Chains A and B, each alone.
Chain A
Amino acid sequence: MKIADKILIAAIASLILVVFVFIKLSEAEAGYLDISYDGELIYRCKLNYEGSFETEYGNIIDISKGKVSMIWADCPDELCVKQGVISQLGQSIICLPNKTVVQIIQ
């Protein structure tokens, strides 16, 4: 076995590793966004969707570049708006007065 052979095997092995990690990462990122009211799903879109969505119950949710935020709410405390941006799997924004839950799922 020459040195070039060993380099070749190492190169292919590292390529496999890199692509594997890349696939794993991209899988984790590409999720869905669920918006539900009182436990019932009212809207679902891909996380890479660009734009905003207004619910009938007084909330506006903005989605851009995989980041989700509540930009407007008609509730008095506006805790959901103050919560800011979510982007990771499992994170959620909850607006209790309007019974609205925004959650990132797989």
Chain B
Amino acid sequence: MKGNCVLYGVYVSIALICTYLEGFISLPFVTPGIKLGLVNIVILVVMYSPGVKAAFAVSITRVLLVGLLFGNGFTILYSLSGALCALFIMAFSQKTNCFSEIGISILGAVGHNIGQLLVAMAVLNTVNVVYYFVVLLVAAIITGTSIGVLAKKIIPRIKVIQERGVK
């Protein structure tokens, strides 16, 4: 883990840039809470090549940094619960070995939605946000699939680079 410090740093910074870039992309059917989830590419790549533990480390570091840079304690709470929920679901679905990157990506998107809606329910003290979950699920299929396809293209290439680096 020590030797990979630089690598993790690079991944965290790429994740940060992805979050920043995503702020410029506005989806045509703007409903609050719907995001492309570019960061998930980074998390997926990390999950496949260094491993699940690294993915947890990179994701949590990223959430804390983004929260400190652009948000406040409240936004940290939202994104942390979303990120953790997504990570647990993704890690579990990777372990089962029946999903490809696309499936894991979709599950990650759904996990994000679940985590954030749970916090929203606790904060707003209402169950009505469940209806909103349906809208988010539609978005999760679309964004999850596109991010998954991208990750599927990227992961083998990153692996080649890493193997060359080891030699």
CB B127 to nearest CB in A, in angstroms, measures 13
Asked whether B110 is an interface residue with its Cβ less than 8 Å from the other chain, the reply is yes
Measured as residues with beta carbon below 8 angstroms from the partner, the interface class of chain A is: 10 to 19
| Count of A-B residue pairs with CB < 8 Å | 40
Do the beta carbons of B100 and A23 come within 8 Å of each other?
Answer: no
Question: Among the listed stretches A6-14, A54-62, A64-72, which one makes contact with chain B, having 4 or more residues with CB under 8 Å of it?
Answer: A6-14
Asked whether B107 is an interface residue with its Cβ less than 8 Å from the other chain, the reply is yes
Q: How far is the CA of A13 from the CA of B106 in the complex (A)?
A: 12
B99 (CB) vs chain A CBs: closest residue: A4
Assuming the contacts A5-B102, A5-B103, asked whether A20 and B110 have C-beta atoms less than 8 A apart, the reply is: no
Measured as residues with beta carbon below 8 angstroms from the partner, the interface class of chain B is: 10 to 19
| Residue among A4, A8, A9, A16 making CB contact with B134, cutoff 8 Å | A16
Asked whether B138 is an interface residue with its Cβ less than 8 Å from the other chain, the reply is yes
Do the beta carbons of B100 and A5 come within 8 Å of each other?
Answer: yes
Asked whether B140 is an interface residue with its Cβ less than 8 Å from the other chain, the reply is yes
Q: What is A's interface to B at a CB cutoff of 8 Å?
A: 1-5, 8-9, 12-13, 15-16, 19-20, 23
